[in-house]
Structure 1
Amino acid sequence: MKDGFIKSFDESELYYKENYVKSPKAAILIVHGLCEHLGRYDYLTERLNKDNISVLRFDHRGHGKSAEKTKKGYLEDYNDMINDVNFFVDKLIEDNDVPCFLLGHSMGGFAVSVFGAKYKDKNLKGIITSGAVTFDNRQLFAEIPKGLDRNTILKNDLGDGVCSVKEVVEDYVNDPLNLKEYTVSIAYEIKNGLDYFYKNVGEFKYPVLMLHGEEDDLVRYGDTLDFFRETGSKDKEMKIYGKACHEIYNEFLKDEVIDDTLLWINNRI
């Protein structure tokens, strides 16, 4: 395991962690969601490592330990997030001479989806989305008033909706690295990024596995249905998990979700 800070495309210092295995058969970059951090994917990383897959993760600018070096809870431009993903995709590919994949949850799912439409020729075997914000059927970002000062504070009220497992919700609320609040700049920039994605979703042509919880009330599974219908990918699969809420990789059926993910990856190596 290796971790530390690295300068991204614009010299911003972001926290990252490598869980690389010896002689891997594949490698994957995990991109986390709004207000959380890379450490919440330790179990998924452990399962991937056990299947001989190397894992790279990073904290978004303004999130987790990256908030020590960048403005906490703030995003200047959605393209910064997408270009950070691109930076770490390039690092993953450079570090690992094996088939490479990309996985994003929630806001991270938004990031990898927009990445896939913007950066069309990367040497990736596939992209996986989990509860991805792609069409905002929940109107989570569309309902935020326009014209606010970009430093306006929004409370992180996501806790109760992240998972049906009580312990996961408690851990989420008590995790000191999770943002308790963030600025409206992030919401505005995700909205801008979604506007771009609506117009360019047909340019997304990577093999893709789209996963979502049926009872996800933070990001409606209609986002995944719309993405599945509109994507330009010819190799696309989708699965909606009954009774599951937002964080399917932490849900009561998390091992089923991870098994499905591993099967999809292994079929494309």
Structure 2
Amino acid sequence: MPTEIEGTHQIGDISLYTKSWKPDGPAVAKVIFIHGFSDHMNRYYEFFPTLASRGIEVHGFDQRGWGRSVHNPSQKGLTGPTSLVISDIVSFIKTQLPSTIPVFVMGHSMGGGEALILASDPQYADLMKDIRGWILEAPFIAFPKGFEPSSVTVFFGRLAGKLLPHMHRYSPLPPENLTRDPEVVQSLKDDKLCHDTGTLEGLSGMLDRTEHLNKGIAKLNPGVKSIWLGHGTEDKGTSYEESKKWFDRQTQVEDKEFKSYEGWYHQLHADLPQDRPVFAKDVGDWILARVGDSAVKSKL
């Protein structure tokens, strides 16, 4: 059985909750995981233990403003600007470097968009040599059709984000749109750590990141080696179509794979129980195929 380890990562006066899943034997790879909006590291069901059972360590943290990194109500959704969001992620990644085994960065939804912004930021170009691959689960590159905010809402949202950055805004994601599993839907409704509350600054920053990605303003650093992107065709949280368009534009990356999950919803790791092992196997197979060590052959 994989070993689960809880801890904290201190950045200035902020203490961020961390959790790791480690295999029984020697690890052959590491995954640094970035969770989504109104999400936390303990909501990924059997996905992380499954990876760990195949020799892949998983390390993640509840981001500033989310999950167990919120210590009082005023901190809900208090992510700060994008520069702080990305520097937090980099700070956590560096706790796993240098590494004797390959390191992969994976993000879901909002976290997938953040991973791509990091991979595109010239400030962190030197970090690319340390990341063997980038794994994206339904990344937030754009809103799905029919769920886009109006241009007026976006304009005034960005303006308010500058004038009242720390003001809270309740921005619920309907659980029924995230997964086809009724038990997961109910657990999302019951989970008090999924507070669905952002700050105007944080929400504005998220809108800016999606615009930079879907309009091609953010361009991947030259050192990005490999990309895997998985998306459900019936995703009601982020846009399957825009994910595919973004992926197809990355012609400079030779090692890349786009995986369509026909009929699946947004949380590929927590969709129908019979489908979750398929997703976990796909991700694990892709990672192990890039480790290049004979020790992993028995895990493939």
TM-score by length of structure 2 reads 0.82
Q: Aligned partners of 2:71, 2:168: CA distance in 1, in Å?
A: 20
Structure 1 residue aligned with 2:125: 120
Q: Aligned partners of 1:247, 1:132: CA distance in 2, in Å?
A: 11
Structure 1 vs Structure 2 CA RMSD:
2.1
Residue aligned with 1:200, SS = coil
2:10 maps to 1:7: yes
Q: Which amino acid counterpart does residue 91 of structure 1 have in structure 2?
A: T
Of residues 66-75 and 248-257 in structure 1, the stretch that sits farther from structure 2 once superposed is: 66-75
Pairing 1:242-253 to 2, within 5 Å after superposition: 242-252=262-272, 253=275
Q: Which amino acid counterpart does residue 5 of structure 2 have in structure 1?
A: K
Contact 2:144 2:235 in 1 (8 A): no
Aligned length: 267
Pairing 1:135-214 to 2, within 5 Å after superposition: 135-136=142-143, 138=145, 139-140=148-149, 143-144=153-154, 145-146=156-157, 147-148=159-160, 149-150=164-165, 151-197=167-213, 198-203=216-221, 205-214=224-233
Q: Which amino acid counterpart does residue 26 of structure 2 have in structure 1?
A: S
Structure 1 residue aligned with 2:91: 87
Pairing 1:35-74 to 2, within 5 Å after superposition: 35-68=38-71, 71-74=75-78
Deviation of 1:217 after TM superposition, in Å, equals: 1.3
Deviation of 1:42 after TM superposition, in Å, equals: 4.2
Deviation of 1:65 after TM superposition, in Å, equals: 0.8
Shift in alpha-carbon separation, 1:202–1:112, aligned structure 2, 3 A: closer
**What whole-Å deviation, never above 9, does each CA across 1:238-268 have from its counterpart, x for those lacking one?**
0110110100111121111111111110110
Q: Aligned partners of 1:24, 1:179: CA distance in 2, in Å?
A: 34
Listed as ranges, the gaps of 5+ residues in structure 2 are 292-300
Q: Which amino acid counterpart does residue 80 of structure 1 have in structure 2?
A: L
Q: Which amino acid counterpart does residue 19 of structure 2 have in structure 1?
A: K
**What whole-Å deviation, never above 9, does each CA across 1:21-59 have from its counterpart, x for those lacking one?**
341011111111000111012411110111011110100
Residue aligned with 1:30, SS = strand
Shift in alpha-carbon separation, 1:137–1:216, aligned structure 2, 3 A: closer
Q: Which amino acid counterpart does residue 94 of structure 2 have in structure 1?
A: D
Shift in alpha-carbon separation, 1:137–1:172, aligned structure 2, 3 A: closer
Shift in alpha-carbon separation, 1:174–1:106, aligned structure 2, 3 A: same
Deviation of 1:71 after TM superposition, in Å, equals: 1.8
Shift in alpha-carbon separation, 1:152–1:66, aligned structure 2, 3 A: closer
2:284 maps to 1:262: yes
**What whole-Å deviation, never above 9, does each CA across 1:89-148 have from its counterpart, x for those lacking one?**
111234x42111111000010111111112333311101001101244553596433322
Contact 1:141 1:187 in 2 (8 A): no
Q: Aligned partners of 2:20, 2:84: CA distance in 1, in Å?
A: 22
Deviation of 1:5 after TM superposition, in Å, equals: 2.0
**What whole-Å deviation, never above 9, does each CA across 1:155-187 have from its counterpart, x for those lacking one?**
313322110111111111111211143223222
Residue aligned with 1:120, SS = helix
Of residues 59-68 and 115-124 in structure 1, the stretch that sits farther from structure 2 once superposed is: 115-124
Shift in alpha-carbon separation, 1:37–1:141, aligned structure 2, 3 A: farther
Q: Aligned partners of 1:63, 1:202: CA distance in 2, in Å?
A: 27
Contact 2:225 2:253 in 1 (8 A): yes
Q: Aligned partners of 1:36, 1:92: CA distance in 2, in Å?
A: 22
Shift in alpha-carbon separation, 1:201–1:11, aligned structure 2, 3 A: farther
Structure 2 residue aligned with 1:230: 249
Q: Aligned partners of 2:262, 2:237: CA distance in 1, in Å?
A: 15
Structure 2 residue aligned with 1:75: 79
Deviation of 1:206 after TM superposition, in Å, equals: 3.2
Q: Which has the larger radius of gyration?
A: 2
Q: Which amino acid counterpart does residue 31 of structure 2 have in structure 1?
A: I
